[in-house]
Each structure stands twice: as structure tokens, then as C-alpha cells.
Chain A
Amino acid sequence: MIQTSDREIWRYLGYRGIEPDSKVQAVIDEVLKELERLVRHGYQYRMEPFSTESENILHLGPITVQSTDLAKTLRGCSHVILIGATLGAAPDQLIRRYEKTDMLRASIAQAASAAMIEAYLDDVQEDLSRTYQTQGLYMRPRFSPGYGDLSLTIQKDMLAVLEMPKRLGVTLTDGLLMVPSKSITAIIGLASAPVSCTSVSCALCGKENCAYRKE
């Protein structure tokens, strides 16, 4: 089971400096249990060689992208992991049902499933990290399309290369958003020298006004 942290759920709900009262927490617990019963998660990844053509033109195996921010994260890397993960359609179905009947539960299901998909990818990443360490490769923090200056248009290639529609049922809308929405794609650098942390770092992202930015 995915260990979703309450703190992250609270953060997505907008709590700052205060914890929810017992009434709200009881609803959070209930919704989280419901989600845990319903979600069917999965992931797909590939390891690809990494090279740079110029300052900001990067080759991630078969995918070529332009991004200064991603270039920063991947500096010194020899390989990248392209990864996609999803909680399946159940969170969207649940949120949709609650939106019509109970906005409190809808917003909690939204926050809890957002926290859960991140936690899931954290778990997957930790496992992969251990595997690659035995090969002398160390992971960088994950970086997703839409972070900083990395355009969402790369999602088309990410989904195709990872065969996400076929393997995970994850597809793109015309506006390049993933559905089911509780899905993540990410690029993770692999280098022969370790860096201090492997979790997502908000400091790397230029969106300083982001509501969910971690201090």
C-alpha cells in the first residue's frame, strides 16, 4: 500500500501552520481509505542515454527537448530515466461523484489523490534508486513536464515512448493534460556521482508564486 502522508494532504488542502480539526481529519481518513481501496496503480520506465547538443537542447534517448531548467538538473548525468506512473481512473471517478454531491469530500479526494500519486512515485523512485546504486549510478531529483521552462508538448513523446496509453491507460487531452489525471511523467537524471537528495525540489522550479511551493 502507498503510504500517503497526512502532511502532504494538508498542504494540498491549503493548510499552513495549523492542523485540521478532528472533524475534518475524520473525513480525510475516510476519503483516504476509500481511495486506497479503489486505486489501481502502475508505472512504466525506460533508461536512455543522455547527451546535450547545446546549453539547452537535450537528447533524452529518442526524445529531444529544449529546457534550461532541465539542463541544470541533469548536469553531469550520463543517463536519464523516463518514467510514467498513474493511480488509474478511480480517483477521477470518485472526485467527479463527490463534486456533484459533496464538495468537501471532492476537495479532500483531490488533495489526497494528488499526495498519493507523488508518494507512489517516491516509493518507486526509491526502489529504482537502490537498484541503480548497485551499478554505481545515482539519481537526481525528478523533473516533470510543466516544471520551470520544460514545455508540456514533450508529453506527446513521453507517453508514446513509455507506451502509456497501452500499458497504463494514460492518455492526453487536446490540451496535453494527462487523463486519468492522477498520473505523472518525469525525467530522472543518473550520474556516477551522488547528489544530496532525490526528492522533488521546488527550489529548482521558476514558478515562485506556485500555491503548492514548499518553503
Chain B
Amino acid sequence: MTILESMQERLLFADGGMGSLLQSRGLEPGKIGDLWNIDRPEDVIEIQSEYLAAGSDILTANTFNTNQLKFPEDGTYSVENIITAAIRNARVAMERVPSDRARYVALDIGPTGKLLQPLGDLSFYDAYAIFARNVRAGVKAGADLVLIETMNDTYEIKAAVLAAKENSNLPVFVTVTFDENGQLLTGCDIKGVIAMLEGLRVDAIGMNCGLGPVQMQPLLDTFLRYTSLPVIMNPNAGLPRTENGQTVYDIDIETYTREMEQMVRKGIRVAGGCCGTTPAYIASLTRTCRPLSTPMHLEPKQDTIVSSYAKSVVISDDPVIIGERINPTGKKKLKAALKDRDMSYILNEAVRQQQSGAHILDVNVGLPGIDEVALLKAVMMEVQSVSDLPLQLDTSNPEAMEQALRYYNGKPMINSVSGKVETMEKIFPLVQKYGGTVVCLCLDDAGIPQTADERVAIARKIRDTAATCGIPAKDLIIDGLAMTISANSQSALVTLETIRRVHEDLHMHTILGVSNISFGLPARENINSHFLTMAMQNGLSAAIINPGSEAMMTSYYAFRALAGLDDNSMDYIKQFADAAPASKLKVVSSDVSLSEAIRNGLKEAAAQAARKALTELEPLTIIDNDLIPALNQVGEAFEKKTLFLPQLLMSADAAKAAFDEIRSFVKAQGTPQESKGTIVIATVKDDIHDIGKNIVRTLLENYGYDVIDLGRDVPPETILQAVQEHNARLCGLSALMTTTVPHMEETIRLLHEKAPYCKIMVGGAVLTQEYADEIHADFYGKDAMASVRYAETVFNQ
């Protein structure tokens, strides 16, 4: 009988803490107990036998810390040997303590001990490989299930789950560690975690470690409210407290048992313990709770949830806004940005839409002649590094969709499938594997139906096909298709009726690309914003719009206030209460000169002054006579320490705004812009501090240089490659730690040897002139301005 079958019949009991028991047998703090599987197997077997005697049905193999980062060597203490020994020990314990009940050994997978990119330095790909190796070893050693536990980062969880599912057929259980507010380290809430894990089709989910059962109790309520899966609870024996410098836990066996009993009555399916719990706790737990065991009865939940690493968004009768701006169709600037891989333009769009009130962002990079597979993944990952909103992955290329789904952190929206069998055949298996909420277009091989009847029929067909692939209707959002009324005056009515009937008859959610409705008409916002209101009145759940449009957002907030979706009109008030003063500000700053605007760090005013100057003067004259001199004045004051970094950056920002105006003017005229020179900059290998380097980049760009920014933790070879590729005459390297300066030295040696034409400037908190000389840098920049000055001498030679 498999564990999943047993779980149908009865409540299962896990074991409790291991680390502290090993420590009481002499394991030193800070040392890894997994080694005892090989060095002192008897101790491990004895502890696990005690848990079996206490009534545990699941033994967690002693492999929490085992991975190739902690055990990189082959031989005695290889990952495979430790895992094999651990599972053998558990089996030996089971032989020693026989039982009539079926019992199971879990391959225990803990966090890698490193944080994944972009926060840390471990890539998703490498994390996957680490977990996959453990899973393969666990399968070989005969584990009955994979238990992924004590996880606090959704991305690492996803890597582990994919590794488990792609390298075994074992059931996968996942327990995560929340703080008292019900959040993971990266900020994800309970709903978001559940959405992602159910999307990934794991078999059971729950919580362990971090908290005691008392603190977990309210979190469990939320858990049970949202999940359709069996729930596992392995709390600590209370909250850890340091007593005489040692960790102790604050609740006794009685309290623990009472709290666990309550959880069992609420409907959890696996009960156990974590840090601080011992066989005595588990014995008391099984004594009290085994009599409460019942066959499993789970209620499928109907909530539609999408998530990112930090946020969850519920799609419901309260409509949400999906930002449409990261989609090149009809957007010249974005097209250019995608072709040039100008991420900063794209990321600014992401942040702007979030600030304007979007709940989800659509990401579409489809352009003819572009490598969509690579680009969608790259843009998606960049957007996730600056915005914590869930994303809607938007591509018609199934391969691009698969890559994006694999690397997405959370549970995304998927845009889209239609009633065409081919799209469903390609996309539904991906949804089943990675999870996601799918936009379903009401069209099929016969085209776009002209009646609501036919559109609803297609929605039904898609729903039924999805069901055969194990995709529930709650994960489908029906697009009623907004078609322009300029071609057919009835088309809005058909769309609205489709929305209403899908909502009322099929009880499914709906979505629209709203602005299509007005294609070909003047003053489109008038039509769009009113159509949005009408669609929401007919039950629209999600609107794909430009959240930067005041008219659209006005419709949105006004509708919510009128439809009883905005308590006390709080959101509406927040949005519009201080609407008036904003326009006043603009008027005040209108008559400032470009030079003044830059010196005072006034962004808007600088852009405005630049626009005005462009009507009278040559672009180059403006740069040479106003822009650069103003920046220089600020730079000199910074050097004299009469003003400081923040003002320097404010002026840089203002200068950038002016520069952007000049650039787009020049581009519009069609004359190619002359660059003052190309500079490669990077933070050296192993160093993850890059704010200083980024400040340098900002200033260099404002002085008109093309800066190739390679980011942080960059190996010497990559820097050399970039210098050669761009034929760069100057390279800037940053290091903040004494420990990473050797990598800087190594990079300099390599560059001097292979690219002797390139000058190298260095900077960073630990560097000094002497240090820079010692490692043969050409220049030491004590601050960001100094690097600008040096660039001027290099390129003016």
C-alpha cells in the first residue's frame, strides 16, 4: 500500500526533531548530523526506533543537510553514500520495531543553504541539479516518498519540486516555514504558496519549523481555507528561546498535544513535529490523536489564485487590472528596446504600471526575427527582479511558453489557448506540469464566432477539454473577445453578453483586452473607459488595459466604489483625494532653465527645458553649453564636499531626463548619434555589492558614454569578452570586500595581457591608491565623479 493510499484511509503520523537528539548524543553545534548515518549509524537507528515505538508512520531519513554543496567530494561521504546509509538506517529501525501498520521512509530534502538569484548567487538551474542528484539517490536507495521541508523561498521550492517530479515517480510532500505573519522569507503569503504548489501538482502540503503549534494554528485556518490538498503539520515544540545561551523550546508535551489535537480535528492528514519535539511528544500525540483518525475527505476549493514570489492575487468578482504595456504591438519605443535588449526601458514600464495600480503584468516580447524563447525568459526574469506582481506570460510560441513557465517564480497567468485543438494540445500539458491560470480565447478553427451562443459553446468546449487534462475550471479565464465596434456596431453587445453568460451560466472567470473595442475610432479612451465599466457590470474578472490611462483607472475605481467592492470607498478616496495638487506642481517648474533644472535636480523641469531648447538650438549645442557644464558644476561641488551623493544623483536624474529628450529628438531626425566612447563596467567575481558601480554607471551615462554594465559577481573571462566584443578603451571594476580584490587583480592581469588597449579604473570601499597600484590598475577612482574625470582624459586623448 502506497503512502497516498494509506493517507486516504487514516491519519498519518510523522516523526519529530532529529538535530537536537543527535546533539544530546554528542554532535557538536554547527556540525552536520547527516554524517552520523555513516559514522554512527547505531545512534540514528536508535532515535528512529524510538520514534517508531512512539507511533510514527513516516520516518524522515536523516538527509536534511545532504547536498553536493555541503558534501562536494566523491567517496565515503558522497551525497549518494549518505542518502543510501540514511534510508538503510530507517529501514533497519523499522525491522527492529515491527508494526501492523504500513510505514514509510521519506527522503528528506532541506534547503540548499544558499539563496537563489537574484537575491543570492545560486542559479535556479544549479539548484535544480543539486536537488535532482538527491532525488535520484533517494529513488535508488528505496525511499517511499520525497519530503521537501523547511523551505522559505518559493523559487527554491519550485526547483526542488521539479527535480523530485522529473527524477522520480514518488509522492512529493512539501512543508514550508512561515513567520508569524504567514510570510516566507521572500514575502510570499500562504495563498501564493498554495497556488504555486497545487499548480506544480504536489501530493500534500503544509508547514514545519519556525513556529510552534500555537502560532501555526491561525495560519492553518488560512491553509485549510485555500488548499484542496491534504495538509501536513510539523511544528516546533513552541518558539525557540535562548536560555543561558542555548536554544530551548517553550511548550511542554501537554500543550503540544492539545494544540495538535485541535489541528487534527480541523482536518489535517499528517501530524508530526520538528525542532524540540522528541519521541515523548510524538508518543503523546499518537496516543491522543490516532483514535480521531478518519478516512480522508477533501473539499476542492474554487479560488482562482495567481502568484509571484512575494504576492498572490485572487481573481474573483472584484475585478483586477492586468497591465498591457510590456507588449511591442504598436509600440515603437518598446520594439526598439526589445531589439537592443534595453532592459531599463522595459523595467521602467513594469515599475510604472505597478505604481499606477496594476495587479498583474502581461509580458509579451513577440517580434518578427527575435529569439522569443530566450527573450521571453530573460525579460520575465528581469521583470521579476524589480516587480513583485504576478505575471501573465503572453506568447503563441509553445517552446517560449515552456521555458518561461519553468523559470517563473510563482504561479503565472498563461496567455493563451483557444478552442483550436492544436493550442490546447500544446499548452494544457504545460499547465498540468508547471501550473498556471489560463486565458482561453473564444475562437476556434472556424474563426471568431459572431454570436454569444457560439462563443459560450467554445468556452464550454475548452473547459471540458481542460478537465480531461486534469485542469480545473477555476484555472481557466474566458476571454470574450473585444472586437472593434467600428467594423460591426453590434460587436460590443456580443462581447458583453458572452462575459455575462460565462459568468452567470458557466460560473467561470472572464477577461478582456479592453482597448480593442475602439480600434479605428478617434479619442479611443472615451469608448474604452465606458466599455470597461459596462464589462465589469456584466461580471468581468480581469481587464487587460494600460494602467497609466487616467480615464481607464477612473472607470475602474468608480465602478468598484459603486458596486460595493470598495469598503467605505477607501481605494477611491486614496486615489482621488489628492488629485488636484499634482497638476499645480507642473506649472511651478515650467520656467526654469535647463542648467538650473539640472543643478537643482528637477527631473520634469529638465525634460521640459530640454524640449524647449530643442526648438531653438542644435542638440549638440545644448549638450555642450548647458547640460555638461551644469553637471560639471554639480560634480565640482561634490568633489569639494559642499554637496553630497543624493544631490549628485538627483542632478544626474534630471540630466538623464534631458538627455532622453535630446536622444528621441535626434532619433526622430534620423541622424545617427555619436557616442563619446564605450566603457565596460562590472563588480568582480564573488562580490555582490553593486550599488557603487551602479552610481558610476549613472554618471558615465549622463556624460554621454555608452556603458556596458555586466552586473555583479562577474568572472574575469566574461569581462574580457565584453571588452573585446565592444572594443572598449576603458573598463571600470568595482570590489567592496578585501576577499574579492584578488579577483580584481586577476581580471586586470587578464585584460592587460589580452586587451592591452583597454585602460582599467578601479573603485570600491576597500581600495586605496596604494592598493590599486599594487594590483596594476591604471586608475583609482575615489568616488563616482573621479571615474567621469578619468573617462574624459582617456577618451579625449
**Contact surface of A with B, Cβ cutoff 8 Å:** 13-18, 20-21, 23-24, 27-28, 40, 42, 44-48, 61-63, 79, 81, 88-90, 92-93, 95-97, 99-104, 106-108, 110, 146, 152, 157, 160-161, 165-167, 169, 171-177, 179-181, 207, 209-212
Contacts and interface: CB of A to CB of B under 8 A. Distances in A.
Instruction: Classify the secondary structure of B's interface with A.
Output: loop
A101 B209 CA distance: 37
A172 B688 CA distance: 11
B387 interface: yes
Contacts of B645: 13-14, 107
Given A23-B601, A46-B246, A103-B653, A175 B686 contact: yes
A101 B185 contact: no
List of 3 A-B pairs having minimum Cβ-Cβ separation, nearest first: A47-B245, A175-B686, A161-B30
B644 to A, nearest CB: 5
A99 B686 contact: no
Given A48-B245, A104-B650, A171 B114 contact: yes
B606 to A, nearest CB: 14
B150 A166 contact: yes
B644 A100 contact: no
Contacts of B185: 88-89, 169, 180
Interface in B570-594: none
A101 B653 CA distance: 10
Contacts of B688: 173, 175, 177, 179, 181
A100 B649 CA distance: 14
Contacts of A95: 691
B296 interface: no
Contacts of B690: 99
Given A24-B647, A62-B30, A161-B29, A103 B119 contact: no
Given A47-B245, A81-B245, A101 B347 contact: yes
Nearest to B120: A179
Given A44-B242, A166-B111, A175-B688, 18 more contacts: A14-B645, A24-B647, A40-B183, A47-B242, A48-B245, A93-B187, A97-B351, A97-B386, A100-B385, A101-B386, A103-B698, A107-B695, A110-B691, A166-B110, A166-B177, A167-B240, A175-B687, A180-B115
A107 B691 contact: yes
A173 to B, nearest CB: 4
Contacts of A165: 111, 113
Given A14-B645, A62-B30, A152 B386 contact: no
Nearest to A95: B691
A62 B26 CA distance: 12
A27 B650 CA distance: 11
A126 to B, nearest CB: 16
A20 B644 contact: yes
A47 B29 CA distance: 12
Given A62-B28, A103-B652, A179 B119 contact: yes
A67 to B, nearest CB: 14
Contacts of B740: 175
A28 B737 CA distance: 26
B694 A47 contact: no
Contact of A46 (B247, B695, B737): B247
B242 A96 contact: no
Contacts of A207: 766
Count chain A CB atoms within 10 A of each CB in B113, B246, B343 and give the residue with the most: B113
B646 interface: yes
Contacts of B120: 171, 173, 179
Contacts of A21: 647
Contacts of A211: 765
B68 to A, nearest CB: 14
A97 B691 CA distance: 12
Given A96-B386, A100-B351, A166 B691 contact: no
Contacts of A62: 28-31
A114 B649 CA distance: 19
Interface in B595-617: 601
Given A93-B388, A174-B686, A100 B114 contact: no
Contacts of A177: 686-689, 737
B302 interface: no
Contacts of A161: 29-30
B25 interface: no
A166 B119 contact: no
A27 B646 CA distance: 10
A178 to B, nearest CB: 9
B647 A93 contact: no
A157 B644 contact: no
A104 B186 contact: no
A108 B686 contact: no
Contacts of B694: 99, 103, 106
Interface in B616-653: 641-647, 649-650, 652-653
